[in-house]
């Protein structure tokens, strides 16, 4: 499983766009990139998943450059309720092990 590196923490203000970048230099050809959100004392919640280029859903966008060695989770117009820890995971299709890194603690201020 590819190792991932994310910033430990980030601060933002309500209404701003937040971009969290994850580095995964050893990503393999059949690896997907998945992002989860976790609030205190709750289980992680799936946000978005992608393989290459750009993926968008109702919550976020995921940008993956051509070399796939990094990815960026983009949260448009964050609110106080987006304060949480965000995890980037990289793993193969067909895989069964999961490794959560340390995550990025996002703090949204009023």
Partner 1 sequence: EAQVTQNPRYLITVTGKKLTVTCSQNMNHEYMSWYRQDPGLGLRQIYYSMNVEVTDKGDVPEGYKVSRKEKRNFPLILESPSPNQTSLYFCASSWGQASYEQYFGPGTRLTVT
Closer residue to partner 1 in complex, CB, 82/87: 87
How far apart CA 86 and CA 25 sit, in angstroms, is: 19
Closer residue to partner 1 in complex, CB, 29/42: 42
Closer residue to partner 1 in complex, CB, 6/70: 6
Q: Least separation, in Å, of the C-beta of 49 and partner 1? A: 7
Q: Least separation, in Å, of the C-beta of 25 and partner 1? A: 19
Q: Which residues form the interface with partner 1 (CB under 8 A)?
A: 32, 34, 36, 41-46, 49, 87, 91-103
Q: Least separation, in Å, of the C-beta of 83 and partner 1? A: 18
Secondary structure of the chain as H, E, C letters: CCCCECCCEEEEECCCCEEEEEECCCCCCCEEEEEEEECCCCCCEEEEEECCEEEECCCCEEEECCCCCEEEEEECCCCHHHCEEEEEEEEECCCCCCCCCCCEEEEEEC
Closer residue to partner 1 in complex, CB, 63/101: 101
Q: Least separation, in Å, of the C-beta of 79 and partner 1? A: 22
């Amino acid at each position: 499983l590819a190792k991932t590196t994310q910033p430990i923490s980030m601060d933002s203000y309500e209404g701003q766009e937040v971009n969290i970048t994850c580095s995964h230099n050893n990503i393999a050809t059949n690896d997907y990139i998945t992002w989860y959100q976790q609030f205190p004392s709750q289980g992680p919640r799936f946000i978005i998943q992608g393989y290459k280029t750009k993926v968008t859903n109702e919550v976020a966008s995921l940008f993956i450059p051509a070399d796939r060695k990094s990815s960026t989770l983009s949260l448009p117009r964050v609110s106080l309720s987006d304060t949480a820890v965000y995890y980037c995971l990289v793993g193969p299709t067909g895989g069964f092990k999961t490794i959560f890194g340390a995550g990025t603690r996002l703090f949204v201020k009023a």
